[in-house]
Amino acid sequence: MRRMQIEVLELPLARPFAISRGTRTAVTVIRVTLEQNGFIGRGECTPTPRYDETPESVNAELEALRADMEAGLSRLDLQSRLSAGSARNALDCALWRLDAALAKHTLWQQCERRQPPSVITAETLSLDSIENMAAAAADAVSRGAILLKIKLNRDEILEKVAAIRQAAPRATLIIDANEAWSGVDLPSLFNALASFNIAMIEQPLPAGQDQELQRFAHPIPVCADESCHTREDIAKLRNRYEMINIKLDKCGGLTEALAMVEEAQKRDMRLMVGCMLGSSLAMEAALPVAIAAEHVDLDGPIWLAADSSPFLSYAQGQIWL
């Protein structure tokens, strides 16, 4: 028999985190612990209002499966019992880790993936004034950041990018609009941004309203985030996007994320792996997916006032394993 524990935790942020949809000073995460025969597997998820999730709704989904989980529900059976989302992610990752522990494997061995010494990750620049974003970029590269992810809305786009590029002339820059560029002349904007050597633009238009992306050539690759949740979304995105962003909280866990990697590679879609705000417990579960990605954005823990075990080491723009 298994035992399942559910914890709802509010994690304060070290500094405000702002995107086009709003600003946060704390993040609520839910952690699941499964114990069986003295072995433990843990998973963490971040309920996201953008996907109609609250801590209460996710906790209710988890409680509804408690009896079946404690009776031994398998990871594969879980995929059909819960839809994609953060509740399934927490359980799926806990089961991966529990199965690995029972087999006396690491998570990497259980996934049949080779663990690298480190993974380059983006450091996110929160939406702010031109001056503050440039200063944040300068600070990040002074600490060794290699890849910067710029959060933007519709205001002062080119001015902010120009200031950040001046502050970080050698860094790789990617932009995340978080669906905020409706009504913008995208062909003209993309052409202007290309002069700043931008590596990728993430989700410029709202999900379900991104048809315009197929009407012009992209001088900069475009990545689907809010438009892409599971492997079933990938085929219909090929004429709008060059890349997809896999997040465990969106797709419902490591199992689906690994399947998305295979599907994307079959369809010649480039890969990014991202995250919601969360601790190292959540980021570590995504690392076996991240090694297949062109861009990785797993910097959630560096935004926290205090991280949680297992602690990942962030230095010189990389996650050191």
Q: Minimal CA–CA distance to 193: which of 160, 225, 171, 215?
A: 160
**Structure-block tokens of residue 252:** 């419902």
Q: Tell me the pairing of strands 243-246 and 270-273.
A: parallel
Q: Are 64 and 32 in contact (CB under 8 A)?
A: no
How far, in Å, CA of 138 to CA of 247, rounded?
28
The C-alpha atoms of residue 140 and residue 137 are separated, in whole angstroms, by: 5
Q: Distance between alpha carbon 246 and the CA centroid of its chain, in Å?
A: 6
Residue numbers annotated as active site: 151, 247
* Six token digits for residue 180: 């905020």
Q: What share of the chain is helix, strand, coil (3-state, %, to 5)?
A: 40, 25, 35
